[in-house]
Amino acid sequence: MAASIPCPGVCNTALRRAERSGAGQDMPVVWGEPVHCEGCVDRARRHLAELPELLAAVSLEPVYGQRGVPTASTTSAPTDTTPWPGQAARLLIDHIVGGLGEMAADVAFHRRLRERPVRPTGQREGIWASGTVKLLSAHIVWLLQEHPCATETHEPGRLGRVLVPSGNPAAQIAAWHRAATRFTRRDTAPEAKRFAPCKRCGGPWLAESRDLRLVDDSPYIECQDPQCGLLLTHAEYAHYVKELAATELAARRTPVHPDGAPGETAA
């Protein structure tokens, strides 16, 4: 059996970011079995199982949704290129269904199964998508443990200023599920919170991460500045805020002369 490696999924995102930023924080490593951990496999299986219903909801969005008919005034497009009603839903469905077909064809090729066309003709799209999802679910362990791209991290790569999506099957499945969930407005917006300036760079870019592994049931707090990338647990952030508040309080209590120089405290 192949030796285990750190899971390339979201469970180790904080660890990889800390290593890239040189934070040197002691973070636990989630090991794969042998590539992806059990949690990532279960998550990918659940995302796959929900895709057919999400695709149906996306197809009904132009009819029953709340987005309204796009117009040139709302899209800043010329009048002759105004999107037709349902175009966004159709493009998203084509993207997801096309990706499912390519992944199923990849499974058939590598596992020497009967050849599958990427987009068959003469079959209803919903029925075909459900069958493809069942095939991928049956081979989900192989996809996440033995696929040639299974060891790629889930984060997109960067080619200059261009983000290149990960080829990892689990990352692709998660991206399709996330896109369909957001399109149908089934995702919940996180509660907006205001944080102190960054401890390292001083910028106002600290925020709770949505994709880093939780510590003590609380998400990591990270600096959104790519040049900084500081990571803090809630306990570390609370300690930093106490130190910052004490410094500010001491500065306010220090008397200041009219010329701006600190004054001497009375004996």
For the stretch 147-162, pLDDT in tens is 999 999 998 887 777 8
Q: Are residues 233 and 160 in the same domain?
A: no
Q: Are residues 126 and 212 in the same domain?
A: no
Residue 3 tokens read as 């030796």
Region for residue 68 given its phi and psi (left: phi exceeds 0; alpha: psi -120 to 50; beta: otherwise): left
Which of 122, 152, 183 terminates a domain? The answer is 183
Q: Are residues 162 and 57 in the same domain?
A: yes
In-domain check, residue 129: yes
Q: Are residues 152 and 249 in the same domain?
A: no
Residues 244, 253: Cα–Cα separation, whole Å: 14
In-domain check, residue 10: no
Q: Are residues 159 and 249 in the same domain?
A: no
Predicted local distance difference test score (pLDDT) of residue 186: 80
Predicted local distance difference test score (pLDDT) of residue 71: 47
In-domain check, residue 159: yes
In-domain check, residue 19: no
Predicted local distance difference test score (pLDDT) of residue 172: 96
HSE at residue 259, side-chain half, CA atoms within 13 A, is 2
In-domain check, residue 222: yes
Q: Are residues 53 and 178 in the same domain?
A: yes
Q: Are residues 110 and 210 in the same domain?
A: no
Low-confidence ranges of the chain (pLDDT < 50): 1, 68-76, 266-267
Task: Tell if the pTM clears 0.75, that is, is over it.
Answer: no
Contact in structure between 125 and 36 (CB atoms under 8 Å): no
Q: Are residues 170 and 45 in the same domain?
A: yes
Q: Are residues 88 and 218 in the same domain?
A: no
Pairing of strands 157-159, 162-164: antiparallel
- 35 CB contacts (<8 Å, ≥6 apart)? 2, 4, 5, 7, 8, 144, 145, 146, 150, 151
Distances (CA, A) of 3 to 6, 8, 23, 188: 10, 14, 27, 38
User: In terms of Cα–Cα distance, which of 145, 144, 155, 151 is closest to 14?
Assistant: 155
Total count of domains within the chain: 2
Q: Are residues 144 and 52 in the same domain?
A: yes
Predicted local distance difference test score (pLDDT) of residue 74: 45
Residues 41, 145: Cα–Cα separation, whole Å: 9
Q: Are residues 240 and 156 in the same domain?
A: no
In-domain check, residue 258: no
Pure H helices in 9-156? 13-21, 38-64, 72-75, 87-110, 125-138, 140-145
Go through the chain and tell me how many residues it has: 267
Contact in structure between 96 and 126 (CB atoms under 8 Å): no
Domain range holding 115?
35-75+82-183
